[in-house]
Amino acid sequence: MTTALRSTAILILTILPFTNAYAQDTTTTNFFDQIKAYDLSTILTADSILTEDREGDKEKIKRSEILGFIGDDYQRFFIHLVSVIQNPVNPYEYLVYGKTRVKETISTFQGTITVRKAGIYKSGDIPTYKQGFVTCDVILYEDKKHPSTGFIKGKLKTALIIDNKGRFRYDALMLIADGFSNNQFVGSWTSYKTNLSKKCNWGDFRIPGCGDLDIGAGEFSVDDKYVKSGWSNYRQAYSHEDTNSMASKQARQKEDEQWWK
């Protein structure tokens, strides 16, 4: 994120206080019938996103990998959606393939994401854009042939926009605002072997329901007591005072590794 965009955000936030795109939740119009005409996979698997603000500033940036946790100790949980395909028979359903990772254990999964609700806010951050959301049921089945596997079940909320050219896009209009998040999943992971469940949440830029794991104001930052739960490299990459140090640069390189390939 550029310094210019951050400065613009501070000015806007001073004049008109924002939190994030969900500020309009209480005033929406039903968009469920129309959402089937759009392909949600373009948002869920986006490699890059376009940030914008009311001043007309735009910047295309690489989308960060999903942040997640599993269990009461907030063990870091990695998930990557390799493929999301809209079901040609049921346009509200998406067929999903991807991989999860906990510590060094990687598992493949298949499952579905099913749209249950969609809405458009009556007023948005940019008046000429339609700004809205979808909420979905998610069920993902890890491969039983892999060790320590199970299934993931929960709810996903995704923010979207339809711009003034009719393009269906990831909502990053206020990404420069503190506390920005998108693709927020709240659910559980249940072991095939023991049938015991653990909390398992994830999201873009922030993790919903993560308690005191996240102590950041402007952006996600891990509390010291959870660093040992798989967050050490993340801390070194993004939370270290000297982000230009060799250690921080190497940590960021590791964060950028495509472990799912």
Q: Give me the pLDDT at residue 34, please.
A: 98
Q: Give me the pLDDT at residue 16, please.
A: 33
Residue 197 vs residues 152, 188, 191, 211: alpha-carbon distances, Å: 9, 6, 6, 18
Residue 250 vs residues 65, 102, 149, 236, 243: alpha-carbon distances, Å: 17, 21, 30, 9, 10
Q: Give me the pLDDT at residue 12, please.
A: 34
Print pLDDT tens along the chain (261 aa): 443 433 333 333 333 333 343 444 468 999 999 999 999 999 999 999 999 887 778 899 999 999 999 999 999 999 999 999 999 999 999 999 999 999 999 999 999 999 999 999 999 889 999 999 999 999 999 999 998 999 999 999 999 999 999 999 999 998 888 889 999 999 999 999 999 999 999 999 999 999 999 999 889 999 999 999 999 999 999 876 677 889 999 999 999 999 999
Q: Give me the pLDDT at residue 243, please.
A: 75
Residue type, 113: I
Q: Where are the domains of the chain?
A: 3-215
**How far apart are the C-alpha atoms of 43 and 125, rounded to whole Å?**
19
3-state secondary structure of 169: strand
Q: Specify the pTM.
A: 0.88
